[in-house]
Amino acid sequence: MEIGFIVFLCILGFGIVYLVTLYNGLVNLKHNVAKHLANIDVLLKQRHDELPKLIETCKQYMRHEQDTLTKVIAARQQVADAQSSHDIKALGQAETGLRTSMGQLFALAENYPELKADSTFTALQNRISALENAIADRREVYNEAVNNNNVRIEQFPDVIVARWFRFGAFDLLQFRKEELSDVDVKSLFS
């Protein structure tokens, strides 16, 4: 009897350690997703702060392009709203709109040699482009963390612990297909 009880305690102890390890792994994945989203938020905030400076610089030269400047401002606000509501799908759509309108703004700037020569505009354009690249990189890392979490909570035996403790799936941060296409510069000038 004594050996059977010891074996039972060993199996029970192993099971408890295994469940705790699974739980801790799921917690780690969940917090990784939150950490990577926070990293994206930092870059979005930095870009959010740079855009008004860019718009003000452009206004000095692009007096006939108020519609494009207004679109950038409106798109910037949509990103801020989606970011504050933590709505990943809306954030992806708003980011697509902002990137499209900024692409149009930079394309229109080609028609204004004085603007292109302005050191403030050039510095802001370079800064925003660098932030865009960093956002794209961090979006990839975020989506990888989301994928790792979503796969793990569906795998056996993790699915049991995930359901029991209500670990949920996260949405990928995706941009619409328009984001992937080139800006039609010709259409901007017709």
**DSSP result, 90-152:** HHHHHHHHHHHHHHHHHHHHTT-HHHHH-HHHHHHHHHHHHHHHHHHHHHHHHHHHHHHHHHH
Q: How far apart are CA 95 and CA 173, in angstroms?
A: 10
Mean pLDDT confidence for 39-57: 91
What is the reported pLDDT for 151?
96
**Residue 57 pLDDT more than 90?**
no
What is the reported pLDDT for 162?
94
Contact by Cβ (8 Å): 135, 155:
no
**Residue 183 pLDDT more than 50?**
no
What is the reported pLDDT for 68?
85
**Residue 143 pLDDT more than 60?**
yes
Return the CATH fold of 2-188: de novo design (two linked rop proteins) (1.20.1440)
pLDDT in tens, 88-140: 989 988 988 999 898 888 888 888 888 888 888 889 999 999 999 999 999 99
Q: How far apart are CA 71 and CA 48, in angstroms?
A: 14
Q: How far apart are CA 176 and CA 162, in angstroms?
A: 31
The whole model's pTM is what? 0.79
| Residue 172: φ, ψ to 5° | -70, 150
Give percent helix, percent strand, percent coil of the chain, each to the nearest 5: 80, 0, 20
Q: Where residue 182 falls among pLDDT bands split at 50, 70, 90?
A: very low
What is the reported pLDDT for 184?
45
Task: For CA atoms 154, 155, 157, 161, give the dihedral sign.
Answer: negative
Q: How far apart are CA 58 and CA 74, in angstroms?
A: 16
Mean pLDDT confidence for 30-58: 92
What is the reported pLDDT for 185?
40
Query: How many beta carbons lie within 10 A of that of residue 27, not counting itself?
Result: 12
Q: Where are the domains of the chain?
A: 2-188
Q: What is the mean pLDDT of the chain?
A: 87
